[in-house]
Structure formats: C-alpha cells, structure tokens
Amino acid sequence: MKPAAFDYYRPTTRREAIEQLVERGEDARIIAGGQSLMAVLNMRLSQPRVLIDISAVEELRYIERRDGYLAVGAATTQAELAEYAALADEVPLLAQMLPWIGHFQTRNRGTVCGSIAHADPSAELPLCLATLGGEVVLETKRGKPRRVTGDDFFQGILTTARRPYELITEVRFPLSKAGHRYRFQEVAMRHGDFAIVALAVDIGETEYRLGVGGVADRPVVRRIPRDVDLDDALNTLAWSLGAQDDIHASATYRRHLVREMGRRLMTEEIVQEETADVRPAR
C-alpha cells in the first residue's frame, strides 16, 4: 500500500500555494494534515501529479474571533482548535464535537479546514459547520475571496462547491448566540469511528436548527419551529434523508436514531452515553 509518485511542493505563503494550485488545477491536491488524503494516496485511490503541502504556511495557522465568527485558518489543526481556551464559550458546539473526531493522534495533525474540504458525510466538522450556518472562505489568484455557507458548500458525497483552482483558506463558525443552547450526540460503531448517525442542534428561542450527519450524502440541516409537533417533524426529517443499509447499520435503525436521539437531544433528555465516560476535557 504505497502511493503513486507525485511532485511535492511546500510553499510558505498562501500566495505561493494558490499560484501553484492555479497552475496545476485538477492535477494538484492540497495536503494540510493529510489524515484523510494520505490514506487515500496510500491505497492509490487518488493519484495527483503534485501535492501542495500548506502545513508550513504560517499565515494560515490562526484562530481568530472576528465579525461574529470564530475564524480558523487552513493550516490550523483540530488539536490546536481543541486547545483554544475560549472555545467552549465562543463555539460550544465545536467544543463538544471535537473530541469525537478520530483520535488525539489524528487530531494532532488533522486540520479543521481539511476535514471540511474532504466533506465526508459522516464527519463531525462538516456537520458542525452546516448546523451553525458557518462559512467557508475560498481564495484564488484574483478577485475577492469567495464566501460560501455550509449549506451550499456541501454538495454530495466528498463533493463541495470548491473549484479546482480555489484554496480553502479559512472556515468561520458563528459565535454562540445568547439564549441558545448547543447539543451534540453521535452513535458510532467504536470510539472514534465515523458516525452512523450524528446529530447537532442549535436550540434557539423560537426554533431548533438540527443537523444530521452520517445518513444522507452530506450533512443535512433543518430548521424546526419550537411550536410544531416535534415527533412529526423528526419523522419527516428521518424519512427525507434517503437512509440506506450498509454493513454496519440498517436504514430503519438510522431513521430510528434520527427520531429518538433527535427528540432526546432537543428536549434535553440528554443521553451522554459516551461523552460523560470517556471523553476527556483536555
């Protein structure tokens, strides 16, 4: 299991990275943490001509509070974000969710933007971005950076609105809103596995914003007014996701979790089945 040959380019500025990307287009792959890409390269499921490693681009390594968002640069690792002291106050959903992403050894290198760029439908960070209504910032050689909301960014399995000559330079998570509560719950086969069903909810005064990962081909977010019949709303959502059987779980089971786990999560009968036991806060 060894990668096919490729050129390797390690720029130190975003400008260099983007120039190379524009020049090479679809022949290039950006590598940041490589925690998804390297496995795919090793299996030769991807054979790019050039790998552009942005992990040394220091100007893309930041976590900043800005314009109502927490902005995370493309070279920032998941571990760095988890260690950001104010995270639980500023973006509590992210703080709850980060420990569920893989294992600390993969979070040490895996980047926040990389996971979002990969758009795995079972991954936590895309779900978080979509649920909160965050944004992805895409830059290319000329023109203003393009900002795409999470809803629009995820377009299908591993498929996003990023164009081949665009670099994701930043993702922005909206800061927590006063009076809102944020909850996350996930069922996976094992600790650290991709979700069979992952649910994230932003509980506002008048509506829920419920995100579902692991079921459809992308994270799906629904706004559910707080005064509707929740069971009906969840059942409608569950059936609309196109759940499928796979080797680990049935479609019926997935719909069941969307309904039942969703109801408990939203009405705060919280089942911290695993979080309470095993997820370290540090």
Question: Is residue 71 close enough to count as binding another protein by CB under 8 A?
Answer: no
> Least CB distance from residue 210 to another protein, whole Å?
16
Q: Name which position in 103, 147, 223, 226 contacts another protein (CB under 8 A).
A: 103
**159 near another protein, rule: CB under 8 A:** yes
79 touching another protein, by CB under 8 A: yes
Q: What secondary structure letter does DSSP report for 111?
A: B
| Tokens describing residue 246 | 């796979």
213 binds another protein (CB under 8 A): no
Among 14, 24, 29, 222, binds another protein (CB under 8 A): 29
Using CB under 8 A, which residues numbered 36 to 55 contact another protein?
A: 36-47, 49, 51, 53, 55
Write the interaction track for another protein spanning residues 180-199; mark x where CB under 8 A is met and - where it is not: -------x-xxxxxx-x---
Strand order in the sheet with 63-66: 63-66, 69-73, 167-174, 135-139, 146-149
Long-range contacts of 185-191 (CB under 8 A, 24+ apart): 185/261, 185/264, 185/265, 185/270, 185/271, 185/272, 185/273, 185/275, 186/100, 186/124, 186/213, 186/214, 187/257, 187/261, 187/273, 188/100, 189/248, 191/274, 191/278
Cβ(197)–Cβ(257) below 8 Å: yes
Least distance in Å: CB of 97 to another protein?
15
State yes or no: residue 203 binds another protein (CB under 8 A): no
The binder of another protein chosen from 14, 24, 61, 162 (CB under 8 A): 162
Q: Does 178 bind another protein (CB under 8 A)?
A: no
